Amino acid sequence: MDLRSPLSEGLQTSPWPTTYKPITLPKFNGKADPRQFLMSFEAAVASAGGNETVMAKSFVIAAEGDALAWYSMLRLGSIYSWENLRDKILANFQGFAVESLTSTDLFQCRQSQGEALREYFQRFVQTKARAPGVPEEVAIEAAIKGLGIGPFAAHLAREKPASMHELYHEFEKYCRSDNDYRKRLEDQNSQKKQGNDRNSQKKNLSQDERRPQREAGG
């Protein structure tokens, strides 16, 4: 089982149907109408003897580029069915049913103060998917300029990725580090709060113990 997969344990461990004969699947890079892709993808899997479990497990094979980057950033174990994943694909890439975005929109996508790197990355991928006409070098520049000040921005300033694939790979590495840092910080703050609460309880208890003595003395 892949512990880094967004598929639930139930989906990952579901057996492949004995009737399913793997075939070459239609590809989806996030730059086309998702409804058209889903129609051809579902038809291809069904014609090869597959079911909805096969569809959910096979999307990672069909995804590439922006679509694969988006899929890899989904919360671990968050996909429980093909219908669930299908809805997410439609919701994320529905921009192709409307007007495409431009490089200006990419440069306006910026990391907010306190925003997790993963959340910014997901927003950027979604925006990039709706701007298929923007050259890679421009999109890379927009992604770097949109980053908040920090280790990742400094790293990219020193070693600028040559392609979107390299950029996404770097994002994934630093997203894991950022998540680990935020988790440790959250745990430290939680422990500090618990310590403060215990000290406050001890202080109140000490005051309660002294109060009868003062009253008796009066």
pLDDT digits (tens, 9 = 90+) for 132-144: 788 989 999 999 9
- The span from the CA of 105 to the CA of 146, in Å, is 11
Domain-located, residue 195: no
pLDDT per residue as tens digits for the range 91-129: 888 765 556 788 999 999 999 988 888 889 888 887 887
Domain-located, residue 142: yes
Other residues' Cβ atoms within 10 Å of the Cβ of residue 140: 19
Domain-located, residue 208: no
Going by the DSSP 8-state scheme, the letter that residue 148 receives in this structure is P
Q: Does residue 149 register a pLDDT over 60?
A: yes
Residue 12: HSE in the Cβ half-sphere, 13 Å Cα cutoff: 14
Per the DSSP assignment, residues forming a β-bridge with 79 are 7
Range of the structural domain that residue 59 is part of:
1-98
Total domains, the chain: 2
Which alpha helices (DSSP H) does the chain contain, by range?
A: 9-13, 34-47, 52-62, 65-72, 82-92, 103-107, 117-129, 136-145, 151-158, 164-217
Domain-located, residue 218: no
User: According to the model, what pLDDT value does residue 210 have?
Assistant: 60
Q: Does residue 216 register a pLDDT over 60?
A: no
144, with CB counted inside 10 A (0-12, 13-18, 19+), is middle
pLDDT band at 8 (very low <50, low <70, confident <90, very high): very high
- The span from the CA of 37 to the CA of 61, in Å, is 13
**pTM of the model as a whole:** 0.54
Which is higher by pLDDT, 93 or 209? 93
Q: Are residues 115 and 142 in the same domain?
A: yes
pLDDT per residue as tens digits for the range 49-106: 999 999 999 999 999 988 998 998 888 899 999 999 999 998 888 765 556 788 999 9
CA nearest neighbour of 25 among 41, 43, 49, 36? 41
User: According to the model, what pLDDT value does residue 198 have?
Assistant: 67
Q: Are residues 118 and 76 in the same domain?
A: no
Q: Are residues 9 and 47 in the same domain?
A: yes
